[in-house]
Amino acid sequence: MRQRLACTTVSNITRDDIRQLVDALRRERLSEHTIVRELLILRAFFNHARNTWLWTEPEENPAIMHD
């Protein structure tokens, strides 16, 4: 899943893609702490892209999970 995301244009990454990544990390039996840390890094990346580089896509940060 990481490889697929790495090859995806950032503006095309969706919340569903991030959910699939989380599911894949859980299947790999990574700890919740590790998964949360990865989500925080992704969230920070999307925030940085929006705030520093003035990116407008994706419209919402896909790494912010709403259940």
Q: What is the DSSP letter of 7?
A: T
Asked whether the predicted pLDDT for residue 67 surpasses 70, the reply is no
Is residue 29 a part of any domain in this protein? yes
Residue 15 lies in a domain: yes
Residues spanned by the domain of 7: 2-51
pLDDT for residue 22: 96
Look at residue 2 in the predicted model and tell me its pLDDT.
86
Statement: residue 66 has pLDDT above 80? no
Residues 43, 64 contacting (CB under 8 angstroms): yes
What is the pLDDT at residue 21?
A: 96
Reported as a single tens digit per residue, the pLDDT across 6-65 is 999 999 999 999 999 999 999 999 999 999 999 999 999 999 999 999 999 999 999 997
**Please, are residues 25 and 34 in contact by the beta-carbon 8 Å criterion?**
yes
Residue 21 in any domain: the answer is yes
Structural domain total, the chain: 1
